[in-house]
A and B are shown apart, each in its own frame.
Chain A
Amino acid sequence: NIPSMSTSDSEEDSYNERTALVASEIPSVPSYQQDPDQPQPADMEPRRRTVAPEPAAEPPSLDRSAVEREPVDLEEEEELPLKYGAKHVIMLFVPVTLCMVVVVATIKSVSFYTEKNGQQLIYTPFTEDTDTVGERLLNSVLNTIIMISVIVVMTIFLVVLYKYRCYKFIHGWLILSSLMMLFWFSFMYLGEVFKTYNLAMDYPTVAMIIWNFGVVGMICIHWKGPLQLQQAYLIAISALMALVFIKYLPEWSAWVILGAISVYDLVAVLCPKGPLRMLVETAQERNEPIFPALIYSSAMIWMVGMANPARHAEPTNQDTGTFCLISAYNPLALTMLRGVKLGLGDFIFYSVLVGKAAATGGDWNTTLACFVAILIGLCLTLLLLAIFKKALPALPISITFGLVFYFSTDNLVRPFMDNLAAHQFYI
């Protein structure tokens, strides 16, 4: 029985965890060529979506060769970002897929997350248990408005905090929210899994499990830990958050919220006065390394090496593929890298979409269709990222495709397939 208040904190945090993909600092090869012409900040430009540069071996060799040979073929230059692009797409597929798989597997097996017991988050106060369809629609829209305003307020608050350099506050907030995720939500999750499989479990063992999981998670995320473990924890956190959303958001509100959040993401990242864009630009101006919190990186890279152009000659300082899930708290963290950074918020909302499709969609066709839609959207977004090389929102394209696929599959493909099966007609 979770009082809605306790989830509310995490809600806020998760909303802050939205992010867009940050444009990455495309590998130094092009910049070497343009060095005399471009001012320094340009190097840091692609932030939001950082497309992860390739794994270890390649960038150094590329960098060196770029430095060595002066006249570089224009074609080769253009090829490189695209080559990077393809690898990055694959590198992003894995964690996104893993997150979605975990969410779908849980939804299908643990009934707790699909049971609606009338409890709702305080952010969605209007009930959907109404008499008419019109009322229900109205309530969902109202819920969405409230939810989105909360998100907007939180994001603006975050930008203000960052502008006035209240780093300690942000850091503390981050720690608190990850504490909640790692301990409370995983405790709940574990309990429900045990109940589903009808296993007996005692408090001492559970305490040990949660304590270990939580503390090692805090260490890996906020301090230093092995990269894969950090990535795994971030995926786990995103999955847990998505599950909470799936449970506590009412049916129609969830879909409307997904749509509205994509629009918000688009606006916040692309408009000149958008909060997320301002956040990115401020960080770029300050040329600061941002705290790593909640950054999913495929490699560890800390900006510091990149900030100094002279260091470009030392390719070893630059990291390779990093793909950072950055939470809105720290889109800044991206700064450095080369890597694609995908925000945790993006993971969460993708998983919410696929999870809801699994929960309410009826059969696997719908779920798979949504899954494919999201991956296609992600590919397209990364393509755009490679073309525009600046921060781009990760949600709009994928979510749009996901929603379109969900509703069309549910209402068109499913009856079609059912009919075919009923008549034993195989195509």
Chain B
Amino acid sequence: MNLERLPNEEKLTLCRKYYFGGFAFLPFLWLVNVVWFFKEAFVKPTYTEQLQIKTYVKRSGLGLLLWVAVLTTWITIFQHFRAEWGEVGDYLSFTIPLGIP
């Protein structure tokens, strides 16, 4: 899909759909939104819909940062305390490393 080819209203619709889609636990979608529409929002010369696209990109960026923070915290906690949690730790584990640390 080449953004260059699309008329501005369609770009806006696409950006908006990606933004709303990201609320379904999809920070990756927000990342794609930010990267893909970055040029459109911040580099290109102004056009009518650009302001709205900018807002969506900014909000997607914020959402993304939030998710990254949450995930990093959770992963750090899990990795650190997994052994200590005993049964709960095993229950939560998808793979359990073998051997003695």
Contacts and interface: CB of A to CB of B under 8 A. Distances in A.
A80 interface: no
B88 to A, nearest CB: 10
Nearest to A203: B94
A226 B32 contact: yes
Interface stretch (A89-97, A112-120, A157-165, A212-220): A212-220
B42 interface: no
Interface stretch (A32-40, A190-198, A249-257, A381-389): A190-198
Interface string A214-234: 011001000011110110000
Given A198-B99, A219-B21, A299-B2, A204 B74 contact: yes
Nearest to A187: B94
A244 B66 CA distance: 36
A215 B18 CA distance: 12
B1 A224 contact: yes
Contacts of B96: 200
A394 interface: no
* Interface size band for A: 20 to 34
B1 A226 contact: yes
B98 interface: yes
A201 B74 contact: no
A316 B5 CA distance: 9
Contact of A225 (B24, B26, B32, B95): B32
Interface string B53-91: 000000000000000000100110011001000000000
A424 interface: no
A194 B14 CA distance: 35
B94 A212 contact: no
A198 B97 contact: yes
A213 B28 contact: yes
B36 interface: yes
Interface in A179-213: 191, 194-195, 198-206, 208, 211-213
Interface string A244-285: 000000000000000000000000000000000000000000
A208 B95 contact: no
Interface centre among A198, A203, A212 (most CB of B within 10 A): A212
Interface centre among B1, B24, B74 (most CB of A within 10 A): B1
A204 B2 CA distance: 35
A224 B74 contact: no
A319 B2 CA distance: 10
Given A212-B27, A224-B14, 19 more contacts: A191-B94, A191-B95, A198-B98, A200-B78, A200-B96, A200-B97, A201-B95, A202-B82, A202-B93, A203-B94, A204-B92, A205-B74, A215-B24, A215-B29, A216-B28, A216-B32, A226-B1, A226-B35, A300-B5
Q: Which A-B residue pairs are the 5 nearest by beta carbons?
A: A212-B28, A194-B95, A198-B97, A202-B92, A201-B94
23 contacts: A191-B95, A198-B99, A199-B95, A200-B79, A202-B92, A203-B94, A204-B74, A205-B75, A205-B94, A213-B28, A215-B24, A215-B26, A215-B28, A216-B32, A224-B14, A225-B1, A226-B1, A226-B35, A227-B1, A230-B1, A299-B2, A300-B5, A319-B2
Interface of B: 1-2, 5, 14, 21, 24-29, 32, 35-36, 71, 74-75, 78-79, 82, 92-99
Interface of A: 191, 194-195, 198-206, 208, 211-213, 215-216, 219, 224-227, 229-230, 299-300, 316, 319
